[in-house]
Amino acid sequence: AQTVTQSQPEMSVQEAETVTLSCTYDTSENNYYLFWYKQPPSRQMILVIRQEAYKQQNATENRFSVNFQKAAKSFSLKISDSQLGDTAMYFCAFMISNAGGTSYGKLTFGQGTILTVHP
C-alpha cells in the first residue's frame, strides 16, 4: 500500500516571497505519478502540477515547481512570488502508473497543508 505524508499542517508566507511545501511518500512501485492539488476556499480541487516518476527533470508550471527526489521519496512544491490567490489547502497525491491495469487512476492523498499568503 502507498502512503503520502505532509508534515506541515499550516504554513504562512508574505506576498511576493517564496514558500516550499513538503511531501514524502512510501511505495514499492517503480512507475508512478505524483501530483500537487490546490483547494481554495471555494472547495474546487485544482491540479497544480504533475510529475512522472521516470522523468528526472523536475516539473515546472509558471510560479510553481517541484523538487522530486525519487531515492528519498520526497516531492516538495515551491511557490515563487506568492500571491494572495495562492491561499488554499494544498494536497500531495500519488498514483500508480499502470496503463490498462488495475490501478484505475486511484489517488492516495496526504493530509494537506493550509497555506496562508499575507499582504
Pick from 43, 71, 72, 119 the residue near other proteins by CB under 8 A. Answer: 43
Establish if 21 lies at the interface with other proteins (CB under 8 A): no
3-state SS assignment for residue 2: coil
Cβ proximity to other proteins: between 104 and 119 the closer is: 104
3-state SS assignment for residue 50: strand
How crowded is residue 68: how many other Cβ atoms within 10 Å of its Cβ? 20
- Choose the binding region for other proteins from 12-20, 66-74, 75-83, 87-95 (rule: CB under 8 A): 87-95
Sequence-distant (≥ 6) Cβ neighbours of residue 3 within 8 angstroms: 25, 26, 27, 108
Q: Which residues contribute to the site for other proteins (CB under 8 A)?
A: 4, 6, 9, 33, 35, 37, 42-45, 47, 50, 52, 91, 93, 95, 97-99, 103-112
